[in-house]
Amino acid sequence: MDKSFIAKMKDPITENKICSNDLEKYFMSNDKRLIHKWWHYFEIYDKYFSKFRNKKPTILEIGVSKGGSLQMWKSYFGEGAKIYGIDIDESCKNYEEDGIEIFIGSQEDRNFLQNIKNKIGNIDILIDDGGHEMLQQIITFEELYNSVKIDGGIYLCEDTHSSYFNSSVGAGLKSPNSYIEMTKNLIDKLHYWHTYDIQNDEISDSTYSIHYYDSVVVIEKRIMEMPWHGMTSN
């Protein structure tokens, strides 16, 4: 099978894509800072993020690039939203504006992430679009997952196809050190009620669901209670 398409990004403008949500519309009409996203991400974003619109959410995106996606979140979530970015490139600080604050540091630095957590408090949505290396993604999850609000918060990691790159440290199909394999292990924690072989912990007590898409993993948080079942009859 020819996989050369992996290195190519179709241009939705020349593909005559029809916009089905406000994020797609923003991207297609963007004349501000550069945004670089896979087209199918916008449908995923809107599916999980729309409930936060106009509710003054706190958003943290790791990976600022040219700052365009931070402007997109600011527009999408509406007035009062707090938009934060993290990047290791000091020049990204120039992309701050009203409602957007950017911190400079490495997502592999646990102390840095702890300081960010203390500064901004609980997060409604965390988007990991950072360096896409296995250690970066895993450390970020370990340090910041508990900062995502337990009452409906969203943790989204994108470009998870990097878990399959043999050129990335710790990556590769079925590699136990990849981010994808780490998240697969979380699935067991969703079922700890049904086995004595798993002990409950923060993950099992606060994780409602895990969703997999091409290159995206979305985790929804909720205070979990023991499931129950019953029978009714007429």
As a whole number, mean pLDDT of residues 16-39 equals 91
As a whole number, mean pLDDT of residues 121-139 equals 97
Query: Residue 12 — pLDDT band, cuts 50, 70, 90?
Result: low
Q: Which architecture characterizes domain 9-221 according to CATH?
A: 3-Layer(aba) Sandwich (3.40)
At 144, phi and psi to the nearest 5?
A: -115, -10
Residue 13: per-residue pLDDT: 58
Q: Based on the number of CB atoms within 10 Å of its own CB, is 207 exposed (0-12), middle (13-18) or buried (19 or more)?
A: buried
Task: State percent of the chain over pLDDT 70.
Answer: 93
Which of 219, 69, 45 lies closest to 137 in space, CA to CA?
219
Task: State percent of the chain over pLDDT 90.
Answer: 88
Cα distances (Å, whole numbers) of residue 177 to 90, 170, 183, 198 = 29, 5, 11, 21
- Mean pLDDT of all residues in the chain? 93
Query: Residue 9 — pLDDT band, cuts 50, 70, 90?
Result: low
Reported as a single tens digit per residue, the pLDDT across 149-205 is: 999 999 999 999 999 999 889 999 999 999 999 999 999 999 999 999 999 999 999
Reported as a single tens digit per residue, the pLDDT across 64-103 is: 999 999 999 999 999 999 999 999 999 999 999 999 999 9
Query: Residue 126 — pLDDT band, cuts 50, 70, 90?
Result: very high
- 205 CB neighbour count, 10 Å cutoff: 15
Residue 1: per-residue pLDDT: 43
Residue 2: per-residue pLDDT: 47
Residue 218 has pLDDT above 80, yes or no: yes
Query: Residue 10 — pLDDT band, cuts 50, 70, 90?
Result: low
Whole-number Å distance between alpha carbons of 73 and 85:
11
Asked whether 131 and 165 are in contact (CB, 8 A), the reply is no
Whole-number Å distance between alpha carbons of 22 and 26:
6
At 218, phi and psi to the nearest 5?
A: -115, 130
Asked whether 223 and 150 are in contact (CB, 8 A), the reply is yes
Domain boundaries, the chain: 9-221
- If residue 144 lies in a helix (H) or strand (E), which one and from where to where? helix 134-144
Asked whether 48 and 154 are in contact (CB, 8 A), the reply is yes
- Which residues, in sequence order, are CB contacts of 186 under 8 Å at separation 6+? 203, 207, 210, 219
Residue 11: per-residue pLDDT: 63
- Which residues, in sequence order, are CB contacts of 13 under 8 Å at separation 6+? 28
Global pTM? Answer: 0.92
Residue 131 has pLDDT above 60, yes or no: yes
